[in-house]
């Protein structure tokens, strides 16, 4: 079993920035399967700034719950910068938050990914996409370690943007 250990300094900075601004964040996850939500819940007094999140793992759920474009979702197997941005925008709308973060991608090599591992992260502030990034992984690590890596990259990106 993998023990998840988030950088406390990163979480403290995120919490401090959000609390100072009196802003809140929500999360939409796919590839990270709840790791980002778990991390944000570990912040001191997390409910002051973390509204919650949703994990949607299939195209149908992303279309139905997060209103992603169905045709685009099917064309890219729901893994693209645009899909991730749509997820981030909609989760902020659902939770009525100032900030949101979304992840989607592949933690294991599959035919749909060209047998590659990669993910997209999107961060939204007040309805506007402020950050989108593709993360490529070229090692053979266990999938849960890859998911944790994506989560860590997302949190570090959020912390940089908030600073």
Residue 1 scores a pLDDT above 50: no
- Residue 72 belongs to some domain of the structure: yes
| Boundaries of domain holding 29 | 23-162
- Structurally, the chain folds into a number of domains equal to 1
- Residue 116 belongs to some domain of the structure: yes
Report which of residues 115 and 153 the model is more confident about. Answer: 153
- Residue 9 belongs to some domain of the structure: no
Query: Over the stretch 99-149, which tens digit does the pLDDT of each residue have?
Result: 999 999 999 988 888 889 999 999 999 999 999 999 999 888 888 899 999
Q: Give the mean pLDDT of 45-71.
A: 96
- Residue 6 belongs to some domain of the structure: no
- Residue 14 belongs to some domain of the structure: no
Band of the pLDDT at 3, cuts 50, 70, 90?
very low
- We report the CATH number of the domain holding residue 28 as 3.90.950.20
- Residue 16 belongs to some domain of the structure: no
Band of the pLDDT at 4, cuts 50, 70, 90?
low
Phi first, then psi, for residue 108 (nearest 5°) are -130, 150
- Residue 17 belongs to some domain of the structure: no
- Residue 61 belongs to some domain of the structure: yes
């Amino acid at each position: 079993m993998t023990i998840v250990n988030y950088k406390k300094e990163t979480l403290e900075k995120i919490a401090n920035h959000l609390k100072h601004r009196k802003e809140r964040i929500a999360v939409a996850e796919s590839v990270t399967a709840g790791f980002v939500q778990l991390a944000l819940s570990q912040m001191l007094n997390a409910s002051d700034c973390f509204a919650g999140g949703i994990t949607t793992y299939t195209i149908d759920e992303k279309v139905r719950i997060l209103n992603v474009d169905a045709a685009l979702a099917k064309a890219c197997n729901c893994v693209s910068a645009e899909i991730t941005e749509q997820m981030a925008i909609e989760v902020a709308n659902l939770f009525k938050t100032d900030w949101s973060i979304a992840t989607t991608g592949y933690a294991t090599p599959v035919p749909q990914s060209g047998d590659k591992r990669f993910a997209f992260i999107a961060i939204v502030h007040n309805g506007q996409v402020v950050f989108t990034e593709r993360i490529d992984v070229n090692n053979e690590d266990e999938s849960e370690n890859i998911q944790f890596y994506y989560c860590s990259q997302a949190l570090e990106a959020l912390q940089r943007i908030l600073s």
